[in-house]
Amino acid sequence: MQSEKLAQQMAFICEIEKLKTVYRQNTVIDQSRKENSAEHSWHLAIMALILADYSKDPNIDVLRVIKMVLIHDLVEIDAGDTFLYDESGNADKLQREERAAARIFGLLPDEQKKELSELWREFDERSSPDALFAAALDNMQPVINHYLSDGCGIRGHDITSEQVVEKKQFIGEIAPALWSYTKQTIEKSKERGFYKLEMSEK
Amino acid sequence: MQSEKLAQQMAFICEIEKLKTVYRQNTVIDQSRKENSAEHSWHLAIMALILADYSKDPNIDVLRVIKMVLIHDLVEIDAGDTFLYDESGNADKLQREERAAARIFGLLPDEQKKELSELWREFDERSSPDALFAAALDNMQPVINHYLSDGCGIRGHDITSEQVVEKKQFIGEIAPALWSYTKQTIEKSKERGFYKLEMSEK
């Protein structure tokens, strides 16, 4: 007989299938379709595995970082993906995502509901070294993806390279070498014309 | 200045973008497109996180299982996805995947190349309790996905429910409760007509 606990866990595992159909602004590398939040999360988890040594704080817990990036976007199943540069969308993002977290993590048995809700909140608030490193990866990956997919997802978005640098430069406090790589990629992207020109550059 | 080590790691992280465009036989839940191996791997990683307690062996290492499922399909970037029931495709699968593993993990610095190559081989050979649990999840997820997506990916494939049970029943040795759930899902899928009928059932 199936336990109530397993039934709850499987309800959650079936529910999260939906994240594969939540699409982001950017595309996959062959530009055939938008990237979804599930494969984005997978990419971050492998980045955490490979790049953990670049954390300025040597005490980060890689398993916790991986857990965070795997689940960080689940709230988008209800709340949708909000583009980093969308000011009006970001105004009520927290409220929408809080409701989504309550429903989606609420499918799980109490102990796992508590663990995953807390990990999500910690990520969202960047309130620990693990969460800061996870946020650094989450901000680094789109820059790389934009570069690899010829600017798809950022071209025509009325965004200057200065705005990108402003949003992302916190990476430098958390993982200096990764910020250096990210910044170089922003510069190469600028040379290739992915961003709107500054007033002074026109 | 960027270190040689970081350059190698970033070459790997850029290369694996391609897994998002390696498509499997089954579809995503709204049947709008085939599932790809990156989002499939993400799903398995969360399953490992949520379901680890069902391993009959209580000593599995969840972080190792998660690492395995995150990387288990990277060889498909070169070797393609081979359908479980494709006998001719499976005949030279190992050789194609060995070459792919050498190239793709070979992008990494030596230490990480060694770690990931060994994890991949361990998974592929099911040569440890961690690898067996990872393989159980990898065999459980498509059954659930087929059920959730109305049989897309299994209907019309000339496969009987007995063939599915035969391929998957090893799960029962590794995680009895998960096999019980999977077997129930196979039975419900059979009732919904996803599989070819046995000779005796016609």
Position A1 pLDDT exceeds 60:
no
Cβ–Cβ of A46/B14 closer than 8 Å? no
Q: Say what the alpha-carbon torsion angle A44, A49, A53, A56 is, to the nearest 10 degrees.
A: 40
Q: Determine which helix (DSSP H) or strand (DSSP E) holds A25, and give its type and residue range.
A: strand A23-27
Q: In chain A, pLDDT over 70 holds for what percent of residues? A: 97
SS3 content of chain A, % helix, strand, coil (to 5): 65, 5, 30
Nearest to B70 among A6, A32, A46 (CB): A46
Question: At A159, phi and psi to the nearest 5?
Answer: -120, 130
Cα–Cα distance for residue pair A111/A122, rounded to 1 Å: 17
What is the 8-class DSSP label of residue B160? Answer: B
Give Cβ neighbours of residue A76 (< 8 Å, ≥ 6 apart): A19, A22, A37, A97, A100
How does the average pLDDT of chain A come out, rounded?
Answer: 94
Q: Tell me what pLDDT residue B201 has.
A: 67
Cβ–Cβ of B20/A2 closer than 8 Å? no
Residue located via tokens 């939540």:
A22
Nearest to A112 among B9, B45, B50 (CB): B50
pLDDT digits (tens, 9 = 90+) for A131-181: 999 999 999 999 999 999 999 888 888 899 999 999 999 999 999 999 999
In the structure encoding, which two tokens stand for residue A197, read together? 């020109």
Cβ–Cβ of A50/B9 closer than 8 Å? yes
pLDDT digits (tens, 9 = 90+) for B75-92: 999 999 888 888 888 888
Predicted TM-score of the model (pTM):
0.95
Chosen from B42, B60, B116, B147 to mutate, greatest number of chain A CBs within 10 A? B42
Positive or negative, the CA dihedral B147, B152, B153, B159 is positive
Regions of chain B where pLDDT drops below 50: none
Nearest partner of B43 among A39, A22, A50, judged by Cα: A39
Q: Tell me what pLDDT residue A173 has.
A: 98
Residues of A in contact with B130 (CB under 8 A): none
Residue located via tokens 């040569």:
B127
Domain ranges of chain B: 4-201
Q: How far is A113 from chain B (nearest CA, A)?
A: 10
Q: Would the ipTM clear 0.90, i.e. be above it? A: yes
In the structure encoding, which two tokens stand for residue B38, read together? 């990156």
Cα–Cα distance for residue pair A59/A55, rounded to 1 Å: 9
How large is the greatest C-alpha to C-alpha distance in chain B, in angstroms? Answer: 70
Q: Tell me what pLDDT residue A201 has.
A: 67
Question: At A196, phi and psi to the nearest 5?
Answer: -65, 145
CATH architecture of B4-201: Orthogonal Bundle (1.10)
- Which tops the pLDDT comparison, A91 or A80? A80
Partners of residue B36 on adjacent β-strands: B23
Please say whether the beta carbons of B40 and A41 come within 8 A: no
Cα–Cα distance for residue pair A119/B58, rounded to 1 Å: 24
Nearest to B45 among A45, A50, A51 (CB): A45
Cα–Cα distance for residue pair B136/B31, rounded to 1 Å: 25
How far is the CA of A94 from the CAs of A98, A168, B118, B169, in angstroms?
A: 6, 20, 42, 44
Q: How far is A50 from chain B (nearest CA, A)?
A: 7
Q: Tell me what pLDDT residue B202 has.
A: 61
Nearest to B21 among A21, A30, A42 (CB): A30
